[in-house]
Amino acid sequence: MTDIRPALRRCTLCADRFALTATAHRPNPVVWFQPGARILIASQAPGLRVHEANTPFWDASGKRLRHWLGVDEETFYDRDRVAIVPMAFCFPGYDAKGNDLPPPAICAKTWRAQALATVPDVRLTVLIGGHAMRYHLPHFTSVTKAVADWRNWPEGVFALPHPSWRNTGWLKKNPWFEEDVVPRLRKAVKDALDD
């Protein structure tokens, strides 16, 4: 199998698109996966802090996600154990109002299947946010429904809301997530990482 990671790191497909955003930034694909990983974090796209640090979930949302998963930083960033494959590998930028732009579809069309083929040993897939859920889940209708239906997805698949501070209101309105889903997610993570 050809290793796509070097080519992916050099990708500039969205250079013109990013130059037109409010941030006017250049592509910087954050590539964080390799063969052998047991857990797949299928997320949306890097944020600005991740873009600058070249490390996925290198912000407050990463702390919340690691808490939900029940893992420390060392485990989370061990590419032999955890693969992070977003729907877009670069920060898509902000619009004029300062909101995150959606992941450009061209990224997933170009790279996603090859990236997922690189991690064939995945035992647990964690879907974060609507874009990832729409790609991976049949009959996706909403994030809340996908998260609540965790028992109905294939074994080894969990759908999570984005761990961003912007979803704090969602978490308060849906206490069942941290009461029911998070403990089962942590057990699934432990089982996936155990030899």
Name the token pair of 175.
Answer: 């206490």
Pairing relationship of beta strands 124-128 and 82-84 according to DSSP bridges: unpaired
CATH number at residue 149: 3.40.470.10
Q: How many domains does the chain have?
A: 1
* Cβ contacts of 152 within 8 Å, gap of 6 or more: none
Q: What is the CA radius of gyration of the chain?
A: 16
Measure the CA–CA gap between 142 and 82, rounded to whole angstroms. Answer: 26
Q: What range does the domain containing 33 cover?
A: 5-193
- pLDDT, position 166: 86
pLDDT of residue 96: 82
Low-confidence ranges of the chain (pLDDT < 70): 1
The reported pLDDT for the residue numbered 1 is: 64
Asked if residues 158 and 188 have their Cβ atoms less than 8 Å apart, the reply is yes
The pLDDT of residue 45 is: 96
In this predicted structure, what is the pLDDT of residue 139?
A: 87
Among candidates 43, 39, 38, which has minimal Cα distance to 160?
A: 43
